[in-house]
Chain A
Amino acid sequence: MLPNTVDYYRASSVSDALSVLKANPDAKILAGGHSLIPAMKLRLNSPSMVIDIANLSDLNYIKEEGGNICIGAMTTHGQIAHSSLLAEKLPLFTETADVIGDVQVRNMGTIGGSIAHADPSADWPAALLAADASIVVTNGDDTRSISAVDFFVGFFSTALEEGEIITEIQVPVPAAGTKMTYQKFMQPASRFAIVGCAAMAKVENGVVADVKVAFTGVSDGPFRDGNVEAAISGKTATAENIASAAAQAASDVSLNADHYADEDYRQHLARVYAKRALTAVCR
């Protein structure tokens, strides 16, 4: 529970952080510290230096701009949970933020830090996938935008390249009438998701449209569940149709297993939670 000796650098700006990162390729970017610090204390991760960007205020904002909701990478889960803009325009995000960890974690942990870490049981990836979010990253010279589907590559693995940091999460403002939810079955010790299901849909004349269903916790990385989406898309939003679509969930992914939930049970839970999430957004 004691980390190896590590240098600490508090960055004054994004470009400062990037230049120090460039000069110290073994360094790690420190955001809220709720993934990196525990790993360092267990000596699973021993960077030579941590570059602290948690206090960069130019990465801390929630705003609406050009049809997008834009969230700075250093915005905390707590700030997101309490945002009135998000509560109105993108309640999926307030709902997701509200079930991350506990109050202390939410007050320290950041959305950028969480998605950079890409824990396969973290909550944000499911929400970002269901919301068609993009992740804006920069290396100082170039800035690019990566869709969530391309960003989450797999087990603790993202499309971030060496020398890049996340600056912003962009989400298209959902069309009027879109309903959305995040339903989570949590591991009681870690409070990470055993199954987290984010869903968005619009029901027009009783027919389900624009449906997106994404999971976290179920497999080695988060994923959009095309089988469920296809099974309910264009169908009337009846309990029977929802149940039969949900029964398709997590059918062709590798399933996580641990002492708390083995493969069978996890797949069962994915289907239960798909049903609950679809019921919430379709009915």
Chain B
Amino acid sequence: MSNKYIGQSVKRVEDKRFITGQGRYTDDIVLPRMVHAYILRSPYAHARIKSIDTSEALAMKGVVTIYTGKDFENINGVPCGWQVNFKDGTTMREPKHPLLVLDKVKHAGDGVAMVVAETKEIAADAAEAINVKYEVLKAVTNPKEALAPGAPLVHDEYPDNVAFDWQIGNDKAEVDAAMASAHHITKLDFTNNRVVPNAMEPRSYIGDYDTAYDRYTLYTSTQNPHLIRLLMCAFVLGIPEHKVRVVGPDVGGGFGSKIYHYTEEALVTWAAKQLRRPIKWTSDRSEAFLTDAHGRDHVSTAEMGFDKDGHIVGLRIKTYANLGAYLSTFASAVPTYLHGTLLQGVYTTPKIHLDMTCVFTHTTAVDAYRGAGRPEATYLLERLMDVSAHEMGIDPAELRFKNFIPPFDGVNQPGYQTQVALQYDSGNYKAVLERGLEMLGYADFKEKQAEARKNGKLLGVGFSTYIEACGIAPSAVVGALGARAGLFESAQVRVQPTGKVSVYTGSHSHGQGHETSFAQVVADKLGIPLADVEIIHGDSDSVAFGMGTYGSRSLAVGGSAIVKSIEKVLEKGAKIAAHKLECSADDLDFADGKWTVKGTDKSIGFGDVALTAYVPHVYPANLEPGLDFSSFYDPANFTYPFGCHIAVVEVDAETGKVTIKRFVAVDDVGNVINPMIVEGQIHGGLAQGIGQALLEGVIYDENGQLTTGTFMDYAMPRADDLPMFETDRKTTPCPHNPLGVKGAGEAGAIGSTPAVVNAVMNATWHLGVSDLEMPLTPQRVWRAMNHK
């Protein structure tokens, strides 16, 4: 062990190829004899297909073939990976999500036909020549409206559009009693706006089939190649898993949207064998808006009750979650186990109840998007906290200090058992708020705000003290909750004869910098130069198994698996070293890349031991040659990063336009391997969270058409929409994984959104504004200020 790299802002080794345009994404891959697919998509949100005439398109030069729903009548659809039961114990409703629609399209963008042609352009032209006759039906896009009697049905077999209902927390009657005893109740209606993930790289897939070996290869822009292989082989195509190689090469961002198994992955894999030619499909941006799984989309009524001293006595929530037309891979887990379980927040709330109804609508499927359920929980809690504080006339920071769970490190003090199933590992919530207030200069700020008001400027401050559950997840726990997969991670550490190290991880980087931060851990643990370590991921033929990257899990779970393998390498290495040094392994210390006999200067380096392992001429008896170990790490618990985000905004009184003047973020993500990468993750998350608060939001019209389907209509946050972020960290190590790390990928997107909305509310509260719907477009803020 050395400390040369861990904790250092080592520049990302992968950036050289990305910055110089040498990144290799799926769409960059060109295989011999490759053909191209274009998918004809439904222009309607809800319609019956009366007929499809492909004759004209098939006759076009360069068209290879055209598939329609009829070709997949007897092939399964893409599955949901998490089973949630109704309150009464019956299984959730799982409609078939066919590879191509046979009879009824259920959202605008549903796949109707796949044209295969010599070029993508020919395929697109031919798709235009397909004549589909539709009987257009009425559509419903809002989850509450979808539950109304007589609402159009998404799936004819489910006469109420309900996917399932669910609850979590204390007994409802206990919560009702607690609320009845409350001195003050804050009650609010919330819409958590639907957002489009918009990864920079659109989804892209290549299917290839090798006749000689009866073997498939799928190249896919995915966050988890092995899970895609498992789902596609076992649930959709029924092909043997060992005959399929799934490669996730460089991937340009995911934010959740590339976790899921998509129809197009199975389509190109299946078609490659039919055609005996490689086949590529790459989404264009308009398709990405229509078909990448969306995020959020909750409609809630939430109440928080307080005693006369401002202590929370109860929390009662009713939420309708829009799941879209089909159940995407983790759609059912997001509004339930990734959401309801976070409603404790960082507070000692004694009674909590969530009543959840998950609903089908004629919209694109909704699934995990950066934060996944936890931002929705944080939004409810943190908005309620600031509104309650304003209503009760208590300072919002003070109200939080009153209600924080006291500090606990998970070692000397036990973890904190919540009312909603989880046990927090370690936390010090007041520390991050104290630091945030210090950075903000809160006392001075209040004076500045009063001064600004006098000058007609609407200055406001908003708080958010969030917690999240990351490092997903203990397999036994998630299995008991309905996950159809384990959530461990694997790692192989292969020491080469020259002492160079190849690490095979089941985590998958799509921008996070694993090739750097994982290598920092390996280099320090083995005491070797960073350049002697290579991190390999994303290929099911080289990596034993993997559960991929999401839920801020890579370092906490994947990194821990690597540490386990390194421990095995060092244990065996010590035996070899002891033999060479003619001593007992117990007499050796390992430091700075060499084993030294305690109390002597006799030592042997890591490289010599590696060479000996592969050239075992002088070698311990009964010890196998080689230095190569695999491990699977299944975490004991989730990890629980937390933090404090504070936004300072100015609202233009005449136009309603919000400008963020300052943004303070103090995050505690446990131990940090690479501070620069963590800060980058925080910045990116903040941009997305602020984007949701101010700019981003999906709008469907009354016919179910996506009216925000291009970057001309859907506003992504840009650098000039954001202030210079003021960030700091606190460190409360995770007590249950070997690196003490918690995860940093989602924190920014979880904490920032309510801080911004709270700040706008604070700026306009004196004008009678408490209810603000995201995104806070100038028009909405102006209407709220003017009660129009």
A-side residues, CB < 8 A to B, are 1-2, 4-5, 38, 42-43, 102, 185, 187-190, 259-262, 264-265, 268-269, 272
Contact = CB atoms under 8 A, between A and B. Distances in A.
A261 B779 contact: yes
Given A260-B777, A264-B788, A269-B655, 18 more contacts: A1-B284, A1-B285, A1-B287, A2-B124, A2-B284, A38-B712, A43-B128, A185-B655, A188-B721, A189-B712, A189-B715, A259-B699, A259-B708, A259-B713, A262-B779, A265-B782, A268-B782, A272-B655
Contacts of A1: 284-287
Contact of B121 (A2, A189, A262, A269): A2
Closest 4 CB pairs of A and B: A1-B284, A189-B715, A188-B715, A190-B712
7 contacts: A2-B284, A38-B712, A102-B718, A185-B657, A190-B713, A259-B713, A260-B779
A14 B25 CA distance: 42
Contacts of A102: 718
Contacts of A42: 286, 710
A2, A187, A269, most chain B CB atoms within 10 A = A2
Interface string B114-141: 0000001100110010000000000000
B714 interface: yes
Interface residues of B, number: 31
Interface in B654-682: 654-655, 657
B707 interface: yes
Given A189-B711, A260-B777, A261-B779, A4 B125 contact: yes
B716 interface: yes
A187 B285 CA distance: 20
Contacts of B707: 259
Contacts of B783: 265
A262 B778 CA distance: 11
B761 interface: no
Given A189-B713, A189-B714, A264-B788, A5 B286 contact: no
Contacts of B714: 189
Nearest to B712: A190
A42 B124 CA distance: 12
B760 to A, nearest CB: 16
Nearest to B128: A43
B218 interface: no
A176 B655 CA distance: 33
Main secondary structure of the interface of A (DSSP, over half): loop
Interface of B: 120-121, 124-125, 128, 284-287, 654-655, 657, 695, 699, 707-708, 710-716, 718, 721, 777-779, 782-783, 788
A119 to B, nearest CB: 11
Most buried by B among A38, A43, A189, A269: A189
Contacts of B777: 260
A205 B779 CA distance: 39
Contacts, number: 51
A5 B782 contact: no
A268 B788 CA distance: 12
B654 A272 contact: yes
Contact of B695 (A188, A262, A265): A188
A265 B779 contact: yes
Contacts of A43: 128
Nearest to A265: B779
Contacts of B120: 2
Contacts of A189: 695, 711-716
Nearest to A264: B788
A5 B121 CA distance: 8
Contacts of B695: 188-189
A185 B399 CA distance: 38
B328 to A, nearest CB: 23
A149 B419 CA distance: 69
Contacts of B699: 259
Contacts of B284: 1-2
Contacts of A264: 788
A5 B120 CA distance: 12
Contacts of A272: 654-655
A260 B713 CA distance: 9
Nearest to A3: B121
Contacts of B716: 189
B774 to A, nearest CB: 14
A79 B618 CA distance: 74
B697 to A, nearest CB: 9
B267 to A, nearest CB: 19
Contacts of B715: 187-189
A43 B127 CA distance: 13
A42 B695 CA distance: 24
Contacts of B708: 259
Contacts of A265: 779, 782-783
A3 B715 CA distance: 24
B778 to A, nearest CB: 8
Contacts of A5: 121, 125
A273 B121 CA distance: 45
A61 B125 CA distance: 40
A277 to B, nearest CB: 13
B197 to A, nearest CB: 16
A171 B627 CA distance: 78
B27 to A, nearest CB: 13
A102 B710 CA distance: 17
A102 to B, nearest CB: 8
Nearest to B285: A1
A269 B652 CA distance: 12
A125 B125 CA distance: 36
A20 B384 CA distance: 66
Contacts of A262: 779
A265 B654 CA distance: 11
B714 to A, nearest CB: 6
A204 B699 CA distance: 50
Of residues B120, B695, B713, which shows the largest number of chain A Cβ atoms within 10 Å of its Cβ? B713
A193 to B, nearest CB: 13
A179 B778 CA distance: 29
A114 to B, nearest CB: 15
Contacts of B779: 260-262, 265
A272 B782 CA distance: 12
B476 to A, nearest CB: 45
Contacts of B778: 185, 261
A243 to B, nearest CB: 11
A269 B781 CA distance: 13
Nearest to B124: A2
A72 B453 CA distance: 48
Nearest to A276: B654
A102 B716 CA distance: 14
A247 to B, nearest CB: 12
A102 B719 CA distance: 11
Contacts of A260: 777, 779
A265 B284 CA distance: 34
Contacts of B287: 1
Contacts of A4: 125
A133 B60 CA distance: 50
A217 to B, nearest CB: 14
A102 B708 CA distance: 20
